[in-house]
Amino acid sequence: MTSSSRSSFTEAGDTLLTIEDLNLDDKTVIVRVDINTPIDPKTHQLLELNRIMEAAVTIKDLTYSKVVVVSHQGRVGRYDYIPLDQHAQALSKVLGKEVKFVDDVFGPAAREAISSLQNGQVLLLDNLRFTAEENVEYTPEAAANTYLVRKLVPLLDACVLDAFPTAHRSSPSIVGFAEVLPTCGGRLIVKELKTLNRILTVAKAPYVAVLGGAKVSDRIEAIETLITNKRADKVLLSGLLANVFLRAKGKLKVPLGIDKEEQHVKKAQTLLDEYPDVFEFPADVAVERSGERVEVKIEDLREDDRVYDIGHKTVENYSKIIRGAGTVFMSGPPGFFELEEFSYGTEMLLRAMASSFATTIVSGGHLSAALQKFGIKEWIDHVSTAGGALVLYLAGKKLPLIEALYRAARRWRSSG
């Protein structure tokens, strides 16, 4: 790992607490997982269960506790911003027992459901992002003072943080409960950190980062650190992120209609000026015209075109770079792979990784679903449930959830 990184489980001599460190039998335990799942944009049904299956590992190990599971799903205003009733049904099947569900987060119905729990029972509260507070970033002290935390804490004995995909957020559920309850890391956190630490000790150059998807802010923040920490000798751009950089290069003239667009474009311009030889751009993309997939050069894009995938020429160029890499990290799909006619770019780049001799890391729920769909998941060295959090972790950034676990461990040890 780079000099700016640290051991997975220690910081300044401190070690994270795990479930074995806390006596959680007969206790009411809130478990913050991330079962934010890819959703079919037409039917609003869950597309895969990978994150739910990962979360179930920790929940199964709390057999003698009263377990309150919390998670978010989607973002406000998006098609995947839905309740968690489907998730409760799916989790019930994975666990092999009933998971109770209440369409409330911290109101009277939620508190009554928590109070009624018996040992061995599991309750899933509704989408955390249905509460305004969960959509805001806080200092740990401020997060502990939110209504969400203050209303639920009197009913709780301990907290287990296992939401590695959301580790880069300082929302109340991530850093607030950990300030006021005995708190440890769950099985997914331990697994992710152990695996990443092992992989990064053998990773070698050249390092290639394949970055796509719709979450521009996280990627922009991390790219410079990835480059300066020598975790990205080449950055292959796709999706909305590529559009931001193409606008910065002057190759896309029309506005993208995303939040903080001009700020992102300005940052992209700075990165291009500082690292002109690092970035690779799509040469062609696939758009939908009259219900059909049509591939066009970037310069031939029309103002009313909606880009759904990268084109064949781009796939050929990117695949060649991937196959010559020593380490490849991919975060965010390059296309709308859920639609068959626009799955080509995502499938081909993942297959290029699977067939390469490079150390390969794939991140995010959407790419995990894609690997399952294409039947090549076992050919990737590490498939993480995290997206933006993993990008930032690999870039050497401190993550709020991990820092909350260190603070909780120090408090627990100092209290004897």
Per-residue pLDDT of 181-210, as tens digits, reads: 999 999 999 899 888 888 888 889 999 999
Across 63-92, average pLDDT: 96
Query: Domains in the chain: how many in total?
Result: 2
Residue-level pLDDT at 5: 36
Considering the domain boundaries, does residue 247 fall inside one? yes
Work out the pLDDT band at 222, boundaries 50, 70, 90.
Answer: confident
Considering the domain boundaries, does residue 211 fall inside one? yes
Q: Say what the pTM is.
A: 0.82
58 and 169 in a single domain? The answer is: yes
116 and 239 in a single domain? The answer is: no
Asked whether the predicted pLDDT for residue 235 surpasses 80, the reply is yes
Q: Provide the residue range defining the domain that includes 173.
A: 10-190+398-414
Considering the domain boundaries, does residue 390 fall inside one? no
Give the CATH number of the domain where residue 226 resides: 3.40.50.1260
244 and 375 in a single domain? The answer is: yes
186 and 259 in a single domain? The answer is: no
Work out the pLDDT band at 89, boundaries 50, 70, 90.
Answer: very high
280 and 402 in a single domain? The answer is: no
Considering the domain boundaries, does residue 2 fall inside one? no
Q: Which of 166-175, 245-254, 286-295 has the lowest mean pLDDT?
A: 245-254
Q: Which of 47-51, 286-290, 322-326 has the lowest mean pLDDT?
A: 47-51
Considering the domain boundaries, does residue 393 fall inside one? no
Alpha-carbon distance 309 to 333, whole Å?
Answer: 9
87 and 143 in a single domain? The answer is: yes
Considering the domain boundaries, does residue 283 fall inside one? yes
**Which residue type, as a one-letter code, is found at position 220?**
I
**Strands (DSSP E) found in 26-75:** 28-32, 66-70
Work out the pLDDT band at 7, boundaries 50, 70, 90.
Answer: very low
Residue-level pLDDT at 14: 59
Considering the domain boundaries, does residue 5 fall inside one? no
Q: Which residues contact 268 (CB under 8 A, 6 or more apart)?
A: 220, 244, 245, 247, 248
Q: In what order do the strands lie in the sheet with 207-211?
A: 279-280, 234-237, 207-211, 327-331, 359-363, 382-384
287-306: per-residue pLDDT in tens?
999 889 999 999 888 888 88
Asked whether the predicted pLDDT for residue 349 surpasses 70, the reply is yes
Share of the chain above pLDDT 90, in %: 70
Work out the pLDDT band at 3, boundaries 50, 70, 90.
Answer: very low
217 and 164 in a single domain? The answer is: no
Considering the domain boundaries, does residue 307 fall inside one? yes
348 and 242 in a single domain? The answer is: yes
**Strands (DSSP E) found in 120-206:** 122-125, 158-161, 183-185
More confidently predicted of 218 and 10: 218
27 and 131 in a single domain? The answer is: yes
Alpha-carbon distance 258 to 240, whole Å?
Answer: 9
pLDDT winner (highest mean) among 79-83, 190-194, 361-365? 79-83
Q: Which residues contact 284 (CB under 8 A, 6 or more apart)?
A: 295, 296, 297, 298, 310, 311, 312, 313, 314
